Structures are given as structure tokens and as C-alpha cells.
A and B are shown apart, each in its own frame.
Chain A
Amino acid sequence: MLPRSVETAFLEQRPDLFGNQRRKSADDTEFDRQIYDTEDFTLMITEAQAILAQNQMTVLNHQPRQLIPVQLHDASRLVGAAAPLDEELQ
């Protein structure tokens, strides 16, 4: 996992490490997807693959094309080969 994901998981599992036992301190993990282990990760990949499979189409010459559904909330978090992290743009 990326360092940020590890930290996010710890925030939830070990709030004492962050002085947040009462869970009242503000954190910025609202928009982070909680991934605790490889099983979680595998499940998410499987879900994503199923959604992508539902959005594949064969139109001309039986060539497959992929429609990629994204929520605007998530659009800001995805990172692809042609989409560098915004940090790189600064």
C-alpha cells in the first residue's frame, strides 16, 4: 500500500497513535477509500472489473470499446497513465 493508505488505515484502527482516542479530531480521510488488506483490495478490483465489463461494447468490426463510468467525486482521485497527479502539475 501507499504510505498514505497505510496511515489512513492506522487512523481508523489505532486512533491512540494520533492522539485521537475520542475520535473527535478532524482528519482528512473522508474521501480516502479504506483498504486494510489485500483481500479488501482484491474485492475492490473485482468490483471495478465487473463494472468495466458491463460497460464494454462491440460496435463496428466487432472491435471492443470501453466506456469508463466515474463519479465526479472519484474523478478527482483517479490516476492513470495519461493523468498525472495534480501535485505534479504544480
Chain B
Amino acid sequence: MTSYTSSLDNEVKIGLVQTSLDPAAAWVETPKMSACEEERAITEIRGFFAAFEQEAPKPDIIVLPELSVPTGFEYQLRNMATKMQSVVIAGLDYRVGRHPSEVHNDALLIVPKRWRGQQMGPRTRVRRIGKTYAAPEEKKNLQAASYEFKEDPSVWLLDGGTIGTFGVMVCYDFLDLERIAMYRGRVHHLFILALNKDANSFRHVAEAVARMVFCNVIICNCGHFGGSLAISPYRLPERRTIYQHTGAGLATGQIITLPVSTLDLHQQGADPHLDGVKVFKSLPPGYNSFLSLVGRSESVSG
């Protein structure tokens, strides 16, 4: 009998923030957040960080929606991440590229110099994770304002040490089937930063991806539309939805806990049980058993 062990932590704490930014009021004719929405976004972000600061333990990772952070607030956000000692994954407002007519839609990955009691580096650093595909409406709106969306083809697989590996996607990229296939069998968590009117359809995709990639799926949508959620592929349906927000026009913040070590054991094939019941759903076909289907297809056709 094979014995399985996991070197990962039991769980990870995620701080999920929805700011109530109104897209229609935020981007009027230019891809730069309007001053009043910017002010509101900063007030809300500061408020939720202050609330998280009171928690013990503090969240390991704080997630903010797509395009929620004003460009001028990036440096302050980095300082807040340093003080909180939390990794921050946040959608940044449109950033002008090398050519003035090009704009990027990035997620910021802020790694504090100290995280989970360990020194991570000499100073807090920021990395950008770009959006690959613009949503059709986004592209149309940018073109109408004489701007061009700049695609970023990079797909990052981030190793968070004992909290497991994770991927980050910006909104429409969540529907990129190739990207989903690339992450299968390699991640414990997928973070999706969204600004999506149809949170319901994203929920269905999240359920499917949680099962097929077999990982925790965390969608952080903007509060104007609501619908942020976190799903883990638990066997019991009542455990599967770890968090779901419903209702439009609301700014909310919530700290949630996601499984890590048990999920990792299950991904390895250990099939952990709790009170005599299997903890997770069965792994999808081909997850860790590689059949040579090409050879079999040849024998059928031959």
C-alpha cells in the first residue's frame, strides 16, 4: 500500500475584498479611473485592510477585484502589504504601455518582505500578471476611446511554499481552456480577479474548474455586480461552497479558510477520509494516470 504525506500546511487564510466601484462611472471616455471613484476605491481598500489588521491570525493572501486599485495607489498598497505581512493579489487600473495608445490590464502580485513569519526578500516587491485576452466589450470600449488592449501571453505558476501552488487569472482569461488545461495537476488554488456582470455563469465555470483542475477556485468580483465566491471540490455539497456573496452594489470583505494539505494528499491519490466519509470528490479522468491514448487510437484506425 502506498503511503502519502504532505509537507504543506493544513489551511490557508484568504482575505477577499469587493470594492463597490461602478465601472460606468469609473471609466468615462478614458481608461483612467475617475477621481470620485478613485477616492471611493482608496477609502474602501483602506477600510478593509484596517479591518483585516484587527484579525489574528491575519490573512495570508488578500485578493482585490480586477481594475480595483487606482494606479497612483500602488505604492501605498505595497506599504499596506508590508505592514500586514500578507501577499496581495489585486487588479490594477489600466496602465498605459510603451506606446501612449496601448493599455495593459494587470493583476499586481505584492510579496511582502516578511510573510508567514519568514523573511521573503530584502524588501517588498511587486510583480505584474497581465491579462491575455480582453473581453469583447472591454476591447470595444477601449477601441471607442482610441486605445488598444495590450495582450500579455504569460501564464504564471506561483509556488507559495507550504500554502501550495497557485495561478492567477484576470477575468475573461478564466474562460481560456488552454490555460485551464495548463494548470491541471499543478495547482492547489486558482485566483480569478473579475469585473463581471454575469457572476452566475462564472460560478458554473468555477464549479467545473474546481472539479477538473481539482483545486480551490476563488473568484473575486467587483462589488458593483457582486458574486465573489470560493469553491473547493469537497465531496459533501454543503461544504463545497466555502464562500459566496450575492447582491449588487455592495462593498464587502471576508476572511475565508481553504484546505491545503488534505487537498494535496487527495491530488496525490491518498483519498483522505473524515469521520468515515471521503473528504473530496473523485479525481477527474487522466489526472494522475496517463494512458497512452494515441497508440490505442492507431490500433483502432489500423
Contacts and interface: CB of A to CB of B under 8 A. Distances in A.
Interface of A: 28, 30-31, 55, 57, 59-60, 65-73, 75-78, 80, 82-83, 86, 89-90
- Which residue among A55, A60, A72, A83 has the maximum number of chain B CB atoms within 10 Å of its CB? A72
Interface string B86-121: 010000000000000000101001010001000111
Interface stretch (B152-160, B195-203, B258-266): B152-160
B245 interface: no
Interface stretch (B9-17, B39-47, B126-134, B271-279): B126-134
A32 to B, nearest CB: 8
Instruction: Please classify the interface of chain B as helix (H, G, I), strand (E, B), loop, or mixed, using the class held by over half of its residues.
Output: mixed
Contact of A68 (B126, B155, B178): B155
Contacts of A76: 111, 120-121, 124-127
Instruction: Please classify the interface of chain A as helix (H, G, I), strand (E, B), loop, or mixed, using the class held by over half of its residues.
Output: mixed
A86 B77 CA distance: 13
A68 B154 contact: yes
Interface of B: 74-75, 78, 87, 104, 106, 109, 111, 115, 119-128, 130, 152-161, 177-179, 181-183, 186
Given A72-B120, A72-B161, A76-B125, A59 B156 contact: no
Given A30-B119, A70-B159, A72-B111, A90 B75 contact: yes
B120 A73 contact: yes
